[in-house]
Amino acid sequence: MKKLTLLATTLAILLVAHVQICDAAAPAPANPGGGFKNLYHDMKVINFPEEVTKIDTNLQKEALLFSPKEKPEGKIPLIVMLHGAGGTKKKDVRAFEVNRDVRWAMTAANKKYVAKILVPRSTSHWNPAAMNKAVEYILSTNDDIDPSRIYCCGYSLGGLGTWNWARHKPNPLAAVVPVAFIASQENIDNLKDLPVWAMAGTNDRRRAGSVKSLEKVFKDKGFKNNRVTIFEGANHGQTAALAWKEKGLLEWLFSHSKK
């Protein structure tokens, strides 16, 4: 009986120790309250004035603005992130805090690329004139943003919006990254002095061919700061995940300035 009692006690001690070790080794949840815990940026909801939204009623009044918690002296860049078609159905701009494309710029690996990040919301296609006015408003209300380092990135409908903004009203932009979009070549000469890194997947139907064709166009026109990346075998959804993992992307983006 004593042996059985001793054995039971020993097993109980081992079980408790095992549980404690497993608990210690298990990673803490990213956010106990659910969703994405933003470690490096503070988020606030801003409201565009009527002078911005009246240009295009698809551009919604509310937008997200992320600011780095640790900011260096002087002015920092602004990254404008344009959502895809799925975002047009969102009822609350706060939903974009957990958006994959938005989170990409705020991961630990990208912590050294300090910038403010603007996430507007549209119920349809992005309007270049409205985006110019939105950036004008952001600059007027944030004196810590460098107006010579305004960047735009977007996937799918957001990639098309980024591309169209660059082709039609590129004034405030220092560099753009359109991803998984149909690349119309109308007004493409406006891109001569605007760095573009365009990306698509080979299994992304018409988008792949139109983006691939830009390689020859950029070369023929002598555009020196523009590049194209095609992901072999990637479909529409896979392309964004690969694009945001592309080595040197933020380094390339931040290297450009309108000065």
Instruction: Please tell me the pTM assigned to this model.
Output: 0.83
Q: Is residue 7 part of a domain?
A: no
> Tens digit of pLDDT for each residue in 76-117?
999 999 999 999 998 889 888 877 777 777 665 667 788 999
Which pLDDT value is given to residue 108?
58
Number of separate domains in the chain: 1
Which pLDDT value is given to residue 152?
97
Domain residues for 159?
A: 36-254
> Tens digit of pLDDT for each residue in 206-254?
899 999 999 999 999 999 899 999 999 999 999 999 999 999 999 999 9
How far apart, in Å, are the Cα atoms of 164 and each of 37, 130, 154, 178, 235? 32, 12, 11, 9, 22
Q: 3-state secondary structure string, the chain?
A: CHHHHHHHHHHHHHHHHHHHHHHHHCCCCCCCCCCCCCCCEEEEEEECCHHHHCCCCCECCEEEEEEECCCCCCCEEEEEEECCHHHHHCCCHHHHHHCHHHHHCCCHHHCCCCCEEEECCECCCCCHHHHHHHHHHHHHHCCCEEEEEEEEEEECHHHHHHHHHHHHCCCCEEEEEEECCCCCCCCHHHHCCCCEEEEEECCCHHHHHHHHCHHHHHHHHCCCCCEEEEECCCCHHHHHHHHHCCCCHHHHHHCCCCC
90 or 201: whose pLDDT is higher? 201
In single-letter form, the type of residue at position 156 comes to: S
> Tens digit of pLDDT for each residue in 65-77?
999 888 778 899 9
pLDDT at 21 over 50: no
Which pLDDT value is given to residue 24?
32
Q: Is residue 30 part of a domain?
A: no
Q: Is residue 116 part of a domain?
A: yes
Q: Is residue 161 part of a domain?
A: yes
pLDDT at 51 over 70: yes
214 or 27: whose pLDDT is higher? 214
Q: Is residue 213 part of a domain?
A: yes
CATH number for the domain spanning 169: value is: 3.40.50.1820
Q: Is residue 11 part of a domain?
A: no
Which pLDDT value is given to residue 7?
41
Q: Is residue 124 part of a domain?
A: yes
Q: Is residue 8 part of a domain?
A: no
> Tens digit of pLDDT for each residue in 143-187?
999 999 999 999 999 999 999 999 998 889 999 999 999 999 999
Least confident range from 24-33, 53-62, 131-140, 211-220: namely 24-33
State mean pLDDT over 186-212: 94
Neighbours of 117 (CB within 10 A): 21
